[in-house]
Chains A and B, each alone.
Chain A
Amino acid sequence: MGIDLPLIWAVIIIFGVMMYVVMDGFDLGIGMLFPFVKGERDRDVMMNTVAPVWDGNETWLVLGGAGLFGAFPMAYSVVLEALYLPLILMLIGLIFRGVAFEFRFKAKDDKRHIWDKAFIWGSLIATFFQGVALGAFIEGFKVVDRHYAGGTLDWLTPFSLFSGLGLIVAYTLLGCTWLIMKTEGPLQLQMHDLARPLALVLLVVIGIVSLWTPLAYPQIADRWFSMPNLIWFMPVPILVLVTFYGLLKAVARNANYTPFLLTLVLVFLGYSGLGISVWPNIIPPSISIWDAAAPPQSQGFMLVGTLFILPFILGYTFWSYYVFRGKVTHEDGYH
């Protein structure tokens, strides 16, 4: 059979995770922006901008988990065992955030502040540990005989903690520029003021990650700086800088849509950069998608259903965003 099933599945899972990062990123960011916005009505508006779509965004995380289990059981087993604590804490954060979303609107006025806090802390914990997990993933895992052979707290490193903080900045900027696009008036102005410092901090974060990873991991340095890779991958950092310049310009001229779109481009570039650093490994530093793949009988069986259903999910996703396009104001009730 000439079809490279592990490659197809890697593409599907990478796509799924990217959809997740792009889409859940901004609604987690909104949770983290809550502390900056005190007004109850403004907070209502912030939540209303994502209320119609947030649970669809989490769809991709579930699909990613189940897909990884079926298509790359070895990676699922090693990575999830190694990242036990950060992932469980991330899930608990996501549960808090999700339930807060619903019950904040249903709560009586005197109870609402509890769900506000659940929303803030849920978003923060979920994002931080997602970043920690990502950082630990890039650093790689010790595998002996197909099993994770490292310790309980191997994920706890300066780099992974830095990644956690970095992701908080990235998602907050996504949330901030999303709100610039979706709101108007004082709330939008406030987000305009926040966007510039957030963008600058993110630039520093990306810069540090770009230096830290090749310096600490020769394999990553080799991937980026050997010829001809250097030429092939050069557009990535150049595009990052160009995008940042555009973003700051767009914020300066009070643009509505451009800041969010450019932040998405940044996230996409950052994601690609990390992808370039680890590809084709699914368990860094040395186990590739082909080593960890499930037998073709499993991957083929799953592919049939996935290729059938994925277009429906995508169609539905785009349609919901289309239906809920435009600005959200105080007058728009949740119901």
Chain B
Amino acid sequence: MELALRLSSDAPHYLSWGWLSVSVPNLIVIGAMLALFVLALVLPFPGNRRKTGDRS
């Protein structure tokens, strides 16, 4: 809990590449969104078993 409070109250660390500057927390969120997007494309959907003769 103390660690969470300290992390949320401290100023975030920023990464910079030329004109682009992004905080580490924002970069983590963007990475998580991209990761979940890729997983949503590749992971099988439960109950989506193909039947014989199904064209999909």
Are A and B co-members of a single complex? no
Which residues of B are in contact with A by a Cβ distance under 8 Å? none
Residues of A within 8 A of B (CB): none
